[in-house]
């Protein structure tokens, strides 16, 4: 049997191959959608704006994902967390999945895995335990889309309201969650204060975009509001705690 | 143009399905390769026990996400987003923001391509940032894990949704009011629900759709 190491070149190579595949898929869809957008009459300038805005917006959440990689790497080495958090998963799934396997095998997650069998069990559970969304989308998206289209064809205005209601429902759940700790005292209000600050920064950006016609700001308003309020959460937390 | 639209709409399903099936095979490749290379196939007992511990919850969440996010992300965006992951904290807000920037209406083919472009760019950037992070891990680990920066990463969701709320809630406050009040009461009365926010998303969606339907029928929307 080969010597097992959670950071072996073999594991890095395997993770790298899967990540390259997903990168290729992203590029494929980017090219196809870009071409179709041009055919629909959306100019390159607008498309570049969208791409730049999306890229800048992604950086901060992506850095927070690295934190997830670091957390998991203490137990699983780098390749598996690198793979799992680059594709499909999110820390909110991967950490509980790894912990559950460790518990059921009676292994501690405070030190690195040394047994290849434990490692492969964790890798299997992480993979199979979090596949349903992809499976449903791959098999049934056409049907789901058909249902959405028929709602829209029956009554166009209701179709639009229906769509808006879905994302209002989603945003409401996350906004509600921000208030979940307010009963524990002033520290529980920190996320609420940060949310309010982010809203205020967004409103200020909106003022400069609309009143002073600063067009470039439009593309980065969400990123600026997010980054500034994340930065301001540091002094707010220190002040309150 | 109409024929072309049909063509793109049809083709994207074919591409999406092929890439989706290949992606699932690629994801299974990693544990399979580990099991073969190290002659370390998991024992059925512990594997099933652990799967039973996580799969019921995560498969439900995955199914909920598929039905909730697909209408928002569009066809291409969904096929890609569900392979690349990190939907709630990254891909969904990114796509919504891009559609808002491009001033396209949800449900149109224009919004479909804009959403796909945003998700593709976001996926590529995420992959590159994480790759850099893995290469430079020994250098950045002390910075990212420093006590100083901890509040910033703890507050990433409030920072994101605060700004998003201004844009979307202010434009659709009649639709947003009922689910917002409902969720506020729910999360304040049962704080532990914060750990299962994904499961609360469809609850918010059902409240929003039901109240919108009533308002629409009464002519208030």
The interface pTM score, or ipTM, of the predicted complex is 0.88
Contact A125, A84 (CB under 8 A): no
> Shortest CB distance from A55 goes to which of B60, B102, B121?
B121
Alpha carbon of residue A143 to chain centroid: 25
Of A117, A79, A61, A124, the closest CA to residue A98 belongs to: A124
Q: Does A72 lie at the interface with B, CB-CB under 8 angstroms?
A: no
Does B126 contact A86 at a Cβ distance shorter than 8 Å? Answer: yes
The full length of chain B comes to: 221
Q: Do A76 and A96 touch, CB atoms closer than 8 A?
A: no
Reduced to 3 states (helix: H, G, I; strand: E, B; else coil), residue A187 is helix
A215 and B CB contact within 8 Å? no
Q: Which of B30, B125, B172 sits opposite A127 (nearest CB)?
A: B30
Q: Which residues of A touch B221 (CB under 8 A)?
A: 161
CB contacts < 8 A, A to B, total 542
pLDDT tens, chain B, 221 aa long: 555 556 888 899 999 999 999 999 999 999 999 999 999 999 999 899 889 888 888 888 888 888 888 888 999 999 999 999 888 888 999 999 999 889 888 778 999 999 999 999 999 999 999 999 999 988 888 888 899 989 998 998 999 999 999 988 988 999 999 999 999 999 999 999 988 787 888 899 999 999 999 999 999 88
What is the C-alpha separation between A88 and B27, in angstroms, rounded? 9
Structural domain spans, chain A: 9-130, 179-241
Window 145-184 of A, Cβ < 8 Å to B = 145, 148, 152, 157-184
A69 half-sphere exposure, CB direction, 13 A CA radius:
31
**B136: which 2 tokens?**
């430079």
* Residue environment code for A114-131, b if the CB has 16+ CB neighbours within 10 A, otherwise e: eebbbbbbbbbbbbbbbb
The answer to whether A106 faces chain B, any CB pair under 8 Å, is: no
Q: Tell me how many degrees the CA angle B175-B90-B164 measures, rounded to the nearest 5.
A: 35
Query: Residue A196 and residue A191: Cα distance in Å, rounded?
Result: 9
B173: buried, middle or exposed (CB in 10 Å: 19+, 13-18, 0-12)? Answer: exposed
């Amino acid at each position: 049997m080969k010597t097992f190491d959670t950071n072996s070149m073999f594991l890095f190579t395997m993770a790298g191959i899967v990540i390259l595949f997903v990168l290729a898929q992203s590029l494929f869809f980017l090219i196809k959608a870009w071409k179709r957008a041009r055919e629909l009459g959306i100019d390159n300038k607008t498309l570049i704006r969208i791409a730049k805005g999306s890229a800048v917006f992604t950086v901060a959440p992506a850095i927070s994902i690295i934190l997830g990689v670091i957390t998991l790497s203490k137990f699983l080495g780098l390749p598996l967390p690198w793979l799992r958090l680059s594709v499909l998963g999110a820390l909110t799934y991967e950490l509980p999945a790894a912990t559950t396997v460790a518990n059921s095998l009676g292994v501690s997650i405070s030190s690195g895995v040394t047994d290849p069998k434990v490692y492969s069990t964790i890798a299997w559970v992480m993979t199979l335990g979090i596949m349903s969304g992809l499976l449903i989308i791959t098999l049934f998206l056409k049907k789901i889309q058909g249902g959405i289209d028929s709602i829209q064809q029956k009554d166009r205005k209701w179709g639009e309201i229906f769509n808006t209601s879905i994302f209002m429902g989603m945003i409401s759940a996350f906004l509600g969650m921000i208030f979940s700790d307010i009963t524990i005292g002033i520290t529980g209000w920190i996320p609420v204060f940060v949310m309010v600050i982010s809203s205020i920064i967004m409103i200020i950006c909106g003022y400069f975009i609309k009143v002073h016609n600063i067009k470039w700001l439009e593309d980065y308003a969400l990123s600026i509001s997010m980054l500034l309020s994340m930065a301001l959460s540091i002094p707010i937390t220190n002040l309150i705690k | 143009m109409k024929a072309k639209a049909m063509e793109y709409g049809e083709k994207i399903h074919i591409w999406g399905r092929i890439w989706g099936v290949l992606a699932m095979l690629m994801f299974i490749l990693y544990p399979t390769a580990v099991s073969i290379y190290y002659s370390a196939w998991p024992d059925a007992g512990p594997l099933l026990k652990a799967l039973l511990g996580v799969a019921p919850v995560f498969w439900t969440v995955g199914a909920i996400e598929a039905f909730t996010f697909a209408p928002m992300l569009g066809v291409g965006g969904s096929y890609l987003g569900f392979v690349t992951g990190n939907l709630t904290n990254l891909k969904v807000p990114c796509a919504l923001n891009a559609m808002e920037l491009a001033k396209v209406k949800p449900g149109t083919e224009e919004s479909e391509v804009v959403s796909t472009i945003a998700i593709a760019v976001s996926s590529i950037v995420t992959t590159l940032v994480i790759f850099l992070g893995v290469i430079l891990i020994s250098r950045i680990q002390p910075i990212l894990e420093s006590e100083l920066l901890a509040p910033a990463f703890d507050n990433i969701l409030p920072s994101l949704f605060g700004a998003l709320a201004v844009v979307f809630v202010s434009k659709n406050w009649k639709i947003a009011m009922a689910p917002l009040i409902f969720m506020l009461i729910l999360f304040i009365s049962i704080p532990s629900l914060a750990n299962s926010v994904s499961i609360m998303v469809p609850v918010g969606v059902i409240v929003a759709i039901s109240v919108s339907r009533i308002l629409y029928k009464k002519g208030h929307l």
